[in-house]
Amino acid sequence: MTVIVQDPLLERNEVNKTQTVDQSHVLQLDGGFVTPDSNAFGHAFRDYEKESERRAGVQEFYRIHHINQTYEYVLSKREQYGKLDKTVMSMWECCELLNGFVDESDPDLDEPQIEHLLQTAEAIRKDYPNEDWLHLTGLIHDLGKVLLHPNFGEEPQWAVVGDTYPLGCAFNESIVHYEYFKENPDFYNPKYNTKYGVYSEKCGLENIILSWGHDEYMYLVAKMNKTTLPPAALFIIRFHSFYSLHHAGAYTHLMNDEDKEMLEWLKIFNKYDLYSKNKVKVDVEEVKPYYQSLIKKYFPPKLRW
């Protein structure tokens, strides 16, 4: 099997061409990256039941998250933030804005977000040195968390972080803390609580309404600022928190053939996103020039946010 990635950098006088990636190579994840046995707190990754100092806070986060994320709510947020009228700034300026934020939904790490972004990107860079678009995707995939910043409305954490899932159809029981959906009005709405809901079989994930958060916002920012990153990068950015899909195999009835191809890239990315979290800090000044060069390659100097 091969995954086709459109070459994002073509000289103006060149014809369009594609880059073919041998999947047997892509799926080799042991190129120096060793999956750790435990997270930064000595527990299994994504263990939401393990007793820890963060457990109660994470549970309360998901209770509020699952109650408030409704189909109509997400439509209103897409309308509000899809205008990209909050500010104009560079990608690296956005990275620096995340220095003071910790993800309350994450049971595996309590470090500022910039640390996680660099750890993910550098782990990918080590194993896939020729896939620079994937390095940059690792760096920027969580930049939508800038919604937490006062200049962006200072949204509550439940409206920015956490696992994502489709709205407009039945909630799948594989979603973390599924029990809290029973307080969500969509749970009882016959329009939204069936297997397909407002969708149809193989409609394509690009056509679903996903719970609102940093993933969806960053996807809109990248797409509407006309990034030249390949489609696989946009798929990763939008769906990297969609764990019920890429971990539990739920909602595959909504996927089309292109989604299935892109899902292979997402599964590769997710191992680094999840398992590279640790207490070892990356030297920001040392790696900054490299990532600034990638930003220049794939994005305009200033972006609308």
pLDDT in tens, 125-181: 999 999 999 999 999 999 999 999 888 878 999 999 999 999 999 999 999 999 999
In a domain, 44, yes or no: no
Would you say residue 9 lies in a domain?
A: no
**pLDDT bracket for residue 104 (50, 70, 90):** low
Report the 10 Å Cβ neighbour count for 279.
Answer: 11
**Residues of the domain holding 148:** 51-304
Q: Is residue 25 part of a domain?
A: no
Q: Could you count the other beta carbons within 10 Å of the beta carbon of residue 39?
A: 21
In a domain, 39, yes or no: no
Residue 195: its H or E element: none
Residue 3 lies inside a defined structural domain of this protein: no
Residue 41 belongs to some domain of the structure: no
Q: What is the 3-state secondary structure (H, E, C) of 284-296?
A: HHHHHHHHHHHHH
168's torsion region: left (phi>0), alpha (psi -120 to 50) or beta? left
Considering its fold, how many domains does the chain have in total?
Answer: 1
The verdict on pTM exceeding 0.85 is no
- Please determine, for residue 2, whether its predicted confidence score (pLDDT) is greater than 60: no
**Apex CA 150: angle with CA 149 and CA 154, to 5°?**
75
Evaluate whether residue 18 is within a structural domain: no
- pLDDT for 193-217, tens place per residue? 999 999 999 999 999 999 999 999 9
pLDDT in the model for residue 32: 52
Amino acid in position 144: G
Q: What is the token pair recorded at 32?
A: 């120096």
212 is a domain residue: yes
The span from the CA of 98 to the CA of 94, in Å, is 7
